[in-house]
Amino acid sequence: MTVNVLNLINGTWCASRTGRTLSRENPARATEVVSLAPISDASDIDAAVKAAVAAYPAWKLVPAPRRGLMIAEAGRILSTRKEEIATLMTREMGKPIAEARGDVQEAIDTALLVAAQGRFLGGETVPCELPNKFGMSLRQPVGPCGLVTPWNFPVAIPSWKIFPALVCGNTVVLKPSELTPACAAEFVKALVEAGIPSGVVNMVCGLGEEAGAALVAHPGIRAVSFTGSTTTGSLIGETCGRLNRKVSLEMGGKNAQIVMEDADLDLAVEGALWGAFGTTGQRCTATSRLILHASIHDAFMSKFLDRVKKLVVGDGLDANVHVAPLVSAEQRDRVASYVEIAVKEGAKLALGGHVLSSGAYANGYFFEPTVFTGVTRTMRIAREEVFGPVIAAIKVSSFDEAVSVHNDTDFGLSSSIYTRDVNRAFTAIRDLEAGITYVNGPTIGAEVQLPFGGVKGTGNGHREAGMQVYEFYTEWKSVYIDHSGRLQRAQIDT
Ligand code: NAD
């Protein structure tokens, strides 16, 4: 069944003014059209931003606890429709059905966490230096926000942005990925059904360089939150810098799992399997480098390769499948080209490395789970984000070397170390340059109550989730109340 996706502008589901549509195929069976969505242009974006601007004055006056109740209701609606949305997600972007359920669950978890925050959006009170004077700070919304999201977490990532933006009193325009418009529309429908007023949430589908760029640069937008590739994020950062616009950028990663000589090897193998091949390696936190201590390298690799060989590749709707297709033919070809580059640069292809295109794989974007050994830190396979089922193993001879190799990257999202040595674990927590560090766990598996984001080329200093996300969606106001009845001069009348 093909889903006909529409834009949501000022409470009305409508086609694009351009009349153009984009069809999205099932990555496991490219002959099946999953969704047809508008290819919108700057005029659609303009209408949506105007709706968000018009709805803002009334929405910001709705008490935050009441805004939180609507978000809780959206979470409840999502939980009743979890299976239906998860199935659509697997058809639209490919990830295995259990992971698609997890994606929707993450949005439900976010709704619960954010809804309660409606009663806790607090500021601070502090003593003033002059008598009979009261000082406090409070949070105020930023204004209409432009949100640009990728396809790999097509429900969870919009929820990380929209729920906190709304509870703080902002209105939003979402431009979802052109690869997952139907998932985004299902998520937005839950907000509409939960009673969010017209114009507060708007969604415009379309291409990045057309609709996305128009949203980011629109004069009615006060803040932009983006998740996606570093190339796109840098462009958006430039635009927002020029316009003095608040911008949050969550971008690429080159995450590594370190395995020390004292690690529980079976546990480390399980972690690497899940970290590298979960979501077919298409998570921003996916493990794409393995940093192995030389003394356990061969033992680890032998166990690991045994397990990788047993991974089942196939349509994510089949509950027995571990590794689903890549999201698109373009992404599959990009992965294949990185395999070629790695071989040319001298990495040893230990397993996989090929497009799967016969039999059950004939109509999909499948790629073999792929393992490289003998990788050095200067090879492109060790430095650039592949975003596919490919892992590159680098041998090291000490903890210090492991940390040095780990940090020798432009990115800094997630990191992991397997060790039984508590001293090393704490040193790693201190020294690994990343926004997230796991000890004895894989690089994937973030929970919504802790801040999410990265350092260096992965981000621009903001965080999503946790309590930190409210820093982005609010502005601080400092308030001084002088009840002395006379002029008191700070720093002078001491
Ligand atoms: P992408 O950058 O191609 O697209 C992301 C979004 O930006 C899409 O909606 C796209 O239409 C839009 N876009 C593209 N060009 C634009 C432009 N010029 N102006 C405005 N918008 C534009 O990324 P993708 O392929 O959808 O997602 C994969 C990338 O996302 C990977 O690099 C991954 O690491 C990253 N990612 C990062 C995080 C994180 O939190 N750090 C989370 C998930 C994904």
pLDDT tens digits for range 103-120: 999 999 999 999 999 999
Query: What region does 94 belong to: left with phi over 0, alpha with psi -120 to 50, or beta?
Result: left
Helices 399-407 and 422-431: angle between axes, nearest 10 degrees:
20
Q: Does 330 share its domain with 426?
A: yes
Q: 176 CA to middle of ligand 1, Å?
A: 9
User: Which atom of ligand 1 is nearest the CA belonging to 177?
Assistant: 9
What whole-number distance in Å separates Cα of residue 31 and Cα of residue 398? 51
Q: Among residues 239, 255, 188, which one has the least CA distance to residue 391?
A: 255
User: Does residue 8 come out as left (phi exceeding 0), alpha (psi in the -120 to 50 range) or beta?
Assistant: beta
* 220 vs 447: CA distance, rounded Å: 33
- The pLDDT assigned to 302 comes to 98
The closest-lying atom of ligand 1 relative to the alpha carbon of residue 176 is 9
Token couple for 136: 């406090």
Nearest residue (CA) to ligand 1, atom 35:
228
With respect to residue 60, please indicate whether it lies within any of the assigned structural domains.
yes
Residue 493 lies in a domain: no
Which residues in the chain come in under a pLDDT of 50?
A: none
User: Looking at the structure, do residues 113 and 173 belong to the same domain, yes or no?
Assistant: yes
Within this chain, do residues 191 and 174 fall inside the same structural domain, yes or no?
yes
Residues 206 and 289 in one domain: no
Same domain (yes/no): 324, 429? yes
DSSP for 171-190, written as a single string: -EEEE--TT-HHHHHHHHHH
| Residue 150 alpha carbon to ligand 1 centre in Å | 5
Whether 349 and 220 share a structural domain: no
Ligand 1 binding site (Cβ under 6 Å of any ligand atom): 148-153, 175, 177-178, 208-209, 212-213, 216, 227-229, 232, 235-236, 250-253, 284, 385, 387, 413, 454, 458
CA of 159 to the centre of ligand 1 (A): 16
Query: pLDDT (tens digit, 9 = 90+) per residue, 286-328?
Result: 999 999 999 999 999 999 999 999 999 999 999 999 999 999 9
Q: Which domain holds residue 280?
A: 255-439
Predicted local distance difference test score (pLDDT) of residue 494: 77
Residue 452 falls within a domain, yes or no? no
CATH number of the domain that residue 242 is part of? 3.40.605.10
Q: Based on the domain organization, do 375 and 335 belong to the same domain?
A: yes
Do 131 and 229 belong together in one domain? yes
- Which ligand 1 atom is nearest residue 150's CA? 26
Residue 207 lies in a domain: yes
Cα–ligand 1 centroid distance for 242 (angstroms)? 20
Q: How far apart are the first and last CA of the chain?
A: 75
Distance of CA 20 to the CA centre of its chain: 28
Q: CATH number of the domain that 318 lies in? A: 3.40.309.10
Q: In terms of domains, do 297 and 358 share one? A: yes
- Indicate if 471 belongs to the active site: no
Q: How far is the CA of 229 from the centre of ligand 1 (A)?
A: 4
Q: Is 183 considered catalytic here?
A: no
Domain presence at residue 208: yes
Of 250, 368, 385, 464, the catalytic one is: 250
Site to probe by mutation for ligand 1, drawn from 95, 229, 279, 455 as the one with most ligand atoms within 8 Å of Cβ, is: 229
Helices vs. strands in the chain: H and E counts, helices first: 14, 22
Residue 485 within a domain: no
Residues 356 and 247 grouped into a single domain: no
Residue 141 lies in a domain: yes
Overall domain count for the chain: 2
3-class DSSP assignment, residue 406: helix
Indicate if 312 and 372 belong to the same structural domain.
Answer: yes
**Could you tell me if residue 489 is inside a domain?**
no
Among the three residues 439, 470, 489, which one is the final residue of a domain in this structure?
Answer: 439
Same domain, residue pair 431 and 463: no
